[in-house]
Chains A and B, each alone.
Chain A
Amino acid sequence: MAEMTMIEAVRSALGDALARDERVVVLGQDVGANGGVFRATEGLQERFGPERVVDMPLAEAVIVGSAVGLACSGLVPIPELQFLGFGSQAFHQIEGQVARFRFRSQGSYPMPMVIRAPFGGNVRTPELHSDAHEAKYVNSPGLKVVMPATARDAKGLLAEAIRDPDPVLFCEPLRGYRLIKDEVPEEDYTVPLGRARTVREGTDLVIVAYSAAVVVAERAAERAAEEGYSVGVLDLRSLVPLDVDALREAVAACGRAVVLHEGSLSAGFGAELVATIQEEAFWSLHAPIGRVAAYDTPYPPGTVEDLYVPSIDRVVAAVRAALEA
């Protein structure tokens, strides 16, 4: 075990995959000599050469679209979108092709691909760099969507996503790349997709979150504890597959829930969570389910972004409202 940041964990998983499986090819803008703009691929081109870690033209659609062809040829491509917000430039390839290529070829051409994409706010980036667009991809049948919250999970989930025969969008919280740091095994290991993680037990309420928002949920739960409440945190780890069993059990155990995410509110993933909770655990609810998300506005410029991304205060307020209902 060693302490690793999330970016080191991602790099470690990529290095393991390139070493383990010669079919694996990493491709994207700046992934080679530069080692990625966040250094996720640092040193990999030196280790594995420019044909395994491939610098690409500035063109998201062909980064993803050529990865479809690489997969058809029998390789396991790992394309990187420099930011999830730029994924819109490739959305027709991701939603229209990657997600449904297995289906539209009736199993002839599986897509064992992992699209990596940093996302998320509070880091004062220019427009479109911070958008949390995960819900658009959840609504793309055929795709899996994985969103780790810890360095240990980032490595294990990425290792599993690369082994998974289905295409995976792997969203990495750029705010957490260096801030999130925990104990990570140095050897190759996997964390299964679709198994939520109980971050913190609680008997009064559970906050359901994923990715960097899990950290916000933990802080909010600590604050609620100071006020005498026992608040748990459930980290979903992946949105597709969704761990419905864990969600049901967590809510049924305490009867109150707040769902939390960085994407905007309307038709965000929180709406799916609330709908699922009422289907699965309606009779155990003691209060309306709280929903904390970004507002239904474009992601704003840096001076006001902290007012937009769900803060600890907003989560605490939602927790309090649910507990006092």
Chain B
Amino acid sequence: MSTTPTIDPAEPLCLLTPDGTLADGHVPALEGEALLGAWRAMLRSRVVDERCFSLQRQGRLGTFSPVHGEEAAVVGSAWALDPARDWVVPQYRELPAMLRQGYRLTQALQYYRGDPAGSRMKHGVNVLPYQISLAAQIPHAVGLAWGLRHQGSDAVVCVYFGDGASSEGDAHEAMNLAGVRRVPVVFVLKNNGWAISTPVRKQTATASFAARAAGYGIAGELVDGNDLFAMHDACSRAVARARAGDGPTLVEARTYRMGPHNTSDDPTRYVDPIELEEHRALDPLARVRRYLTAEGVIDEPSERALVDELAAEFDAAIAQVEAGAPPGPEAVFDHVYERPPPRLERQRQQARGDTG
């Protein structure tokens, strides 16, 4: 009956080592076109990070939180899902997972520019909006998974949050309910070491967030979050478990936030540069690059060409977004209610008059 695996908090699952070689005997399930798609998504994420940072500094974009360092954790988990039926419930540092589900880069840029249209999800794009109230999305994911199963779907919901959000009561309440109802949800806890300036040792006394799974009666996996194959492997297992009706899994992706918390943050005030350098050697992109290079799938010129292509794709997206008309006063009122109270409609009329 129970499929709860035992976990060893000391040993994160690692299938692709930092030097780009496979763990003994491992045959990656992620291969061929899917692997190339994942590699492309990781590279694109870094292109988006760099360009968004630059645009923010130019005043062309609002607050932005880079994914830098967490690409394998996000992409490996997202590639374990079937976008046609499964769902992603993001926090705000999971753009590659949202894009895989069909969310558009142009919409992400609208969101970062403060345009409400960036949060509209087209039908069939199985993604909930960005979540700024940390951990509030975790109960939503549990309810969504419960509701989908209630209606006969075999969909799985993958929800992202971090080591910081894990301290919120919502994280506890949601994982507890998920265990009780055995809902088909995968909790991806990206332990990136930092909640803005709070290091993980001040966030928790536990040696492993994954160990908390036992307290909820759910499965737990501790994974090297910089290892694309390990993330994909652990999350594929979690998805299969959820789809089979065997309940939720808490996947702790142990990774590292290589950049600042966001464009307003200055991590030189609190991050030890030596520690940062140590983590640079564990870069999630570098090990996929080494693996694919050794396999003869990519080389330097082909990667350069791919980066150029992704940069051009980004530049076209931002050009399209910047060419669009800025939202007007109606955007303040639209979608607050489906049937707005009359006094709100009066306020809308006033706003129209005020803005001429």
Contact = CB atoms under 8 A, between A and B. Distances in A.
Interface of A: 25, 51, 56-57, 59, 61-62, 64-75, 77, 92-93, 96-97, 100, 102-110, 141-142, 144, 164-166, 194, 240-242, 244
Given A59-B173, A92-B136, A109-B128, A75 B147 contact: yes
Interface residues of B, number: 39
A69 B336 CA distance: 18
B173 A57 contact: yes
A166 B339 contact: yes
Contacts of B170: 61-62, 65, 92-93
A259 to B, nearest CB: 17
B143 A108 contact: no
Given A65-B170, A102-B335, A97 B140 contact: yes
B338 to A, nearest CB: 4
B177 A106 contact: no
B58 interface: no
A196 to B, nearest CB: 12
17 contacts: A59-B176, A61-B173, A66-B143, A69-B144, A102-B337, A103-B336, A105-B129, A107-B338, A108-B121, A108-B122, A108-B129, A110-B338, A164-B339, A165-B339, A194-B341, A194-B342, A242-B343
B56 interface: no
Contacts of A72: 128, 140, 143-144, 147
A73 B147 CA distance: 5
Given A62-B142, A65-B143, A106-B117, A93 B335 contact: no
B133 A69 contact: no
Given A75-B151, A165-B338, 13 more contacts: A57-B177, A57-B180, A67-B143, A69-B139, A69-B146, A70-B147, A74-B147, A96-B133, A105-B119, A105-B128, A105-B335, A107-B335, A164-B339
Contact of A65 (B174, B335, B338, B342): B174
Nearest to B121: A108
A106 B335 CA distance: 6
A141 B122 CA distance: 24
A77 B142 CA distance: 14
Interface string B327-347: 000000011111101110000
B141 interface: yes
A57 B140 contact: no
- Residue from B117, B338, B341 having most chain A Cβ neighbours under 10 A: B341
A61 to B, nearest CB: 5
Contacts of A64: 139
Contacts of A74: 147, 151
B90 to A, nearest CB: 12
Nearest to B159: A69
A87 B65 CA distance: 32
A65 B140 contact: yes
Nearest to A243: B342
A18 B204 CA distance: 43
Contacts of B144: 69-70, 72-73
Interface in B163-222: 169-170, 173-174, 176-177, 180
Contacts of B173: 57, 59, 61-62, 65
B120 interface: yes
Contact of B119 (A61, A65, A104): A104
B126 to A, nearest CB: 10
B341 A242 contact: yes
A240 B339 CA distance: 11
A73 B343 contact: no
- Residue from B139, B146, B339 having most chain A Cβ neighbours under 10 A: B139
A69 B229 CA distance: 30
Contact of B120 (A66, A105, A165): A105
B342 A70 contact: no
A57 B151 CA distance: 22
A66 B157 CA distance: 13
Given A73-B148, A104-B129, A68 B143 contact: yes
Given A62-B173, A93-B136, A69 B150 contact: no
Given A73-B148, A74-B147, A242-B343, A61 B177 contact: no
Closest 9 CB pairs of A and B: A69-B143, A65-B139, A73-B147, A66-B143, A241-B341, A69-B144, A62-B173, A106-B120, A165-B338
B150 A75 contact: yes
Given A66-B142, A69-B147, A244 B335 contact: no
